[in-house]
Amino acid sequence: MPLLARLLERPSAWAGAEEQWGAGDFPFAALYELADGRHGGVSFFEVPSKRERELARIAAALFMGSQSQKNPATAQFRFVRTTQLDSLEIKYNKTNGKTLDSGLNDRHYELVGLRGETCLALAKVMCAAPKMISPTKILQAVVRGVTSGELEDKLTKDGLHALKGSSLVRLTIRQIRSPPGPTARMSPGRR
| In a domain? residue 35 | yes
Residue 171 counted as domain residue: no
Structural domain includes residue 110? yes
State pLDDT tens for residues 79-104: 999 999 999 999 999 999 999 998 99
Residue, of 191 and 85, whose pLDDT is higher: 85
> What pLDDT score does 107 carry?
95
Q: Answer whether residue 164 is part of any domain.
A: no
**pTM of the predicted structure, to 2 decimals:** 0.80
Count structural domains, the chain: 1
Q: Is residue 165 part of a domain?
A: no
Separation between Cα atoms, residue 104 and residue 126, nearest integer Å: 21
Q: What is the pLDDT of residues 109-167, one digit of tens each?
A: 999 888 878 888 888 888 877 899 998 898 889 888 888 888 887 776 777 777 766 66
Domain hosting 32: range is 3-135
